[in-house]
Amino acid sequence: MDTIVVVGGGAAGVAAAEALRAQGFTGSLTLVCGEPELPYDRPPLSKQVLLGTWEPDRARFRPAAHYIDKGIRLVHGLAHALDLTERAVELADGYQLRYDGLIIATGVRPRVLPAGHDLAGVHVLRGLADVAALRSAFAAAGRIVIVGAGFLGMEVAACARALGLEVTVVDPLPQPMIRQVGPLVGAAVADVHRSQGVVVRTGIGVSGLVGADGVVAGVALADGSVLPASCVLVAIGAVPETEWLAGSGLAVGNGVECDEFLRAASGVYAAGDVASWVSPRYRRRMRVEHRMNATEMGGTAAKNLLAEAAGTDLEPFDPVPYFWSDQYKVKIQVHGELSAEAEVTIEEGTVADGKFVAMFRHDGVPAAVLGWNSAARVIGYRKQLLG
């Protein structure tokens, strides 16, 4: 294998490129970056960078010299098409990149509301440009309405509150972050935000955005009322960046469909938020939008691409998923997979004390463990998920 192209310069793409070098690949290696800048990390964007405690540059994975040292050629541009037969990626400007091996790591983009997204004052948060726009809006606006109470919406709520804004969060589900942490911990998340002065409106849907003269004026709710707003963050999830693969012949459903080795086709692997794979552990197809998963997938995709070329055994991708969220002084860490229906028990500490470990079980079998300001303790429970 002489030439490898990695498309997508996020956590998964950078991890894949570095792993290829670490595994001894010495051929030509190109990392196609969709953004016109050095690759950067996303979790700090809704935390330190939004708060202003980090300069945006601090979120970059590596300085430019690192990529030169490793022989990783950064090409800035958007992949536009993939030709599996010719083994070529075409960029939007027509530039063609031939490959022997390909890793797809194009991530996701924010989902938007069906109407009103173009109104001035409406924001999403995915990249550095978004965080700069949001910070300017914070400086001008006294209040913000956040549509969507997932971890992103709640992290932004915490930052906006810390910066002195009036904050309302609205979501149709009964508790914030219910899909990620279940109803009991979701209620604790709501309580923390309410104690900080955030208005948490759960259990009510958003019917649209209201604007005047091209500028947002409010968020219309399903009950017919309107929350006035000059700044709105829409944080209602994300969709995989797969349009450029249309017509390529790759199976694309909820993301690029890979087998348990992250292989999408011969010599083609996918990693990170864009990739779904068949999990041996959970015996189903999964797609995970978490930071640690992106790095781990990048590493495994790189290893398996080289193993396929060498004719050696491929390694199944079989992690226990992990994510964290920081809100005010609360650090939430979740290992495993939980659904809102899981039985939950508090194993240590109490919700009232603001320090606890919760175990989630499905039919009595440990499925996930959550630490709330309990980083050291939660690790001890993680091994129960491996049985």
Binding site for ligand FAD (CB under 6 A): 7-13, 32, 34-35, 42-43, 45-46, 78-79, 105-108, 125-126, 152, 241, 244, 272-274, 289-292, 294, 323-325
**At 15, which helix (H) or strand (E)?**
helix 11-22
Determine the Cα–Cα distance for residues 289 and 303; give it in Å rounded to an integer: 21
Cα separation of the two ends of the chain: 38
Contacts of 141 (CB under 8 A, 6+ apart): 121, 165, 230, 231
Question: Phi and psi of 241, rounded to 5°?
Answer: -85, 85
Of 218 and 276, the one with the shorter C-beta distance to ligand FAD is: 276
> Least Å distance between CB 297 and ligand FAD?
8
> Least Å distance between CB 357 and ligand FAD?
19
| DSSP per-residue codes, 185-221 | HHHHHHHHHHHTT-EEEES--EEEEEEETTEEEEEEE
Q: Are strands 226-228 and 101-104 parallel, antiparallel or unpaired?
A: unpaired
> Least Å distance between CB 273 and ligand FAD?
4
CB–CB of 360/369 below 8 Å? yes
Give the residue ranges of DSSP H helices in 257-323.
291-310
Determine the Cα–Cα distance for residues 144 and 331; give it in Å rounded to an integer: 23
Of 27 and 237, the one with the shorter C-beta distance to ligand FAD is: 237
86 Cα distance to chain centroid: 32
> Least Å distance between CB 181 and ligand FAD?
13
Of 5 and 306, the one with the shorter C-beta distance to ligand FAD is: 5
> Least Å distance between CB 232 and ligand FAD?
16
> Least Å distance between CB 225 and ligand FAD?
29
Of 198 and 233, the one with the shorter C-beta distance to ligand FAD is: 233
> Least Å distance between CB 15 and ligand FAD?
8
CB–CB of 318/156 below 8 Å? no
In the numeric block, the tokens 């390909």 are attached to 102
> Least Å distance between CB 203 and ligand FAD?
25
Of 211 and 256, the one with the shorter C-beta distance to ligand FAD is: 256
Of 41 and 208, the one with the shorter C-beta distance to ligand FAD is: 41
CB–CB of 188/330 below 8 Å? no
Determine the Cα–Cα distance for residues 48 and 136; give it in Å rounded to an integer: 15
Determine the Cα–Cα distance for residues 131 and 328; give it in Å rounded to an integer: 18
> Least Å distance between CB 272 and ligand FAD?
2
Of 106 and 175, the one with the shorter C-beta distance to ligand FAD is: 106
> Least Å distance between CB 60 and ligand FAD?
12
SS (H, E, C) 108-164: EEECCCCCCCCCECEECCCCHHHHHHHHHHHHHCCEEEEECCCHHHHHHHHHHHHCC
Of 189 and 211, the one with the shorter C-beta distance to ligand FAD is: 189
Of 144 and 211, the one with the shorter C-beta distance to ligand FAD is: 144
Of 73 and 210, the one with the shorter C-beta distance to ligand FAD is: 73
Cα angle 135-140-145, degrees, rounded to a multiple of 5? 75
